[in-house]
C-alpha cells in the first residue's frame, strides 16, 4: 500500500510515522485501528451490504461483523 520512495520497497511498519502525523496535527486519543472502524462505519452508512463489509474486514462469519456494537447499531439489523 505504501512505498518507500528511496528504495522502492513496500513499507510494512509505519507506526512511528503515524504517531508523528498525529502529533503534528495535534490529534489525541486516536489509534491506527480507529481508521478501520471509520472505514467500516462509512461503508455501512453509505448502504454497503453486510456480506461486503464482512469480506472487506476479513471476518469469517457475519456474526463476527455484527458482534461489534458500533457496526451492529449502524446496520439496524439489515440482513
pTM above 0.75, yes or no: no
Residue with the three cell numbers 472505514: 39
Contacts of 64 (CB under 8 A, 6+ apart): 54
The C-alpha cell that represents 35 in the structure block: 481508521
Contacts of 69 (CB under 8 A, 6+ apart): none
pLDDT digits (tens, 9 = 90+) for 31-53: 988 888 889 889 888 888 889 99
| CB-count burial class (<10 Å; 0-12, 13-18, 19+) for 22 | middle
Per-residue confidence at 65, pLDDT binned at 50, 70, 90? confident
pLDDT at 78 over 60: no
Per-residue confidence at 11, pLDDT binned at 50, 70, 90? confident
What are the residue ranges spanned by the domains of the chain? 29-75
The C-alpha cell that represents 28 in the structure block: 489525541
Amino acid at each position: 500500500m505504501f512505498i518507500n520512495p528511496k528504495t522502492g520497497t513496500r513499507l510494512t511498519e509505519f507506526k512511528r510515522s503515524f504517531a508523528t502525523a498525529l502529533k503534528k496535527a495535534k490529534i489525541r486519543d486516536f489509534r491506527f485501528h480507529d481508521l478501520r472502524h471509520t472505514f467500516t462505519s462509512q461503508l455501512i452508512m453509505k448502504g454497503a451490504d453486510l456480506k461486503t463489509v464482512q469480506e472487506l474486514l476479513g471476518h469469517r462469519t457475519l456474526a463476527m461483523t455484527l458482534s461489534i456494537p458500533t457496526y451492529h447499531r449502524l446496520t439496524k439489523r439489515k440482513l
